[in-house]
Copies of this chain bind each other. A is one copy, B any other.
Amino acid sequence: MFDVFHEYIYGVSMSTPRQKPRSLTPEKLVAKAMELANESGFEALSMRKLAHALGVTAMSLYNHVANKDALLDLMLNEVVARYETPKFGGEWQDEMRRRAHSMHRALLANRWASTLLISRIAIGEAVLRDNDATVGCLVTAGFTYAQADWARNAIDNHIYGFTVQEVNYPVDPSTYQAAAAQYLPMIPQDTYPFMHQAAVQIAEGKYDGIVQFEFGLELILDGLNRWVGTA
């Protein structure tokens, strides 16, 4: 009886699969949620606002996604899917460099992501694939499994640590010099002599105040190279 009514209204039998694409899908939720987070900031992303942006009420989202946490996991998986996968057999340092820069780019393109990824153990398919390929590249290059694990930890701590600081820093790198000049009087020379002097150097243009992502990365890759050679 209910089935007949449903069929009359929607033109589709309940027992046969849907023919036309459903209006809402998990993929559409994730895409719109990422759009919202990127354009309006992560704190503006609520289930209610996401639903509104999709022209629907909040409760209907729960037909496509278990809860907000599951939605966040799907969003993070989408970001991690953009990490470039290390190849086996070539120079492992080049592969790690390529992966690191692609991660940095993906995290800068989705500025809300790094802060979540560093603290959350999101085991989506993309994370597993990245883990496997990264360990695989290092092991193929001659690392033991323990060494590969430790190496990946050192590399990833730098990538995530650096990027989280970068996206949360309140002043734009291009205005460091002006900012240093402006805040100089607020850093008392007698209590904070070295920070004061650092600000002087930045204000005078002797140093741009910008820490390069590559610095820490090369420091670690170089150390790892030396470590494996002598293991």
Interface residues of A (CB under 8 A from B): 115, 118-121, 128-129, 131-133, 135-136, 139, 144-146, 148-150, 153-154, 156-158, 160-162, 164-165, 168-170, 191-195, 197-198, 201, 207, 209, 211-212, 215-216, 219-220, 222-224, 227
Q: Count this chain's copies in the assembly.
A: 2
Whether the Cβ atoms of B118 and A164 lie closer than 8 Å is yes
Which single member of B118, B133, B149, B198 contacts A165 (CB below 8 Å)? B118
Q: List 19 A-B contacts (CB under 8 A).
A: A115-B118, A118-B164, A118-B165, A119-B168, A121-B169, A121-B170, A132-B191, A132-B194, A136-B193, A139-B194, A144-B207, A145-B194, A145-B201, A146-B207, A154-B216, A157-B216, A219-B223, A219-B224, A220-B223
Question: Cα distance A141–B145 when bound, in Å?
Answer: 37
Contacts of A162 in B (CB 8 A): 153, 157
Contacts of A197 in B (CB 8 A): 139, 145
A93–chain B nearest beta-carbon distance, Å: 14
Which single member of B129, B136, B194, B211 contacts A136 (CB below 8 Å)? B194
* Most B C-beta atoms less than 10 A away, residue of A144, A156, A164, A209: A164
The 4 closest A-B pairs by CB, nearest first: A157-B161, A161-B161, A136-B194, A219-B223
Contacts of A133 in B (CB 8 A): 194
Whether the Cβ atoms of B195 and A149 lie closer than 8 Å is no
Contacts of A192 in B (CB 8 A): 128-129, 131-132
Contacts of A154 in B (CB 8 A): 158, 215-216, 219
Contacts of A227 in B (CB 8 A): 219
Which single member of B153, B211, B212 contacts A216 (CB below 8 Å)? B153
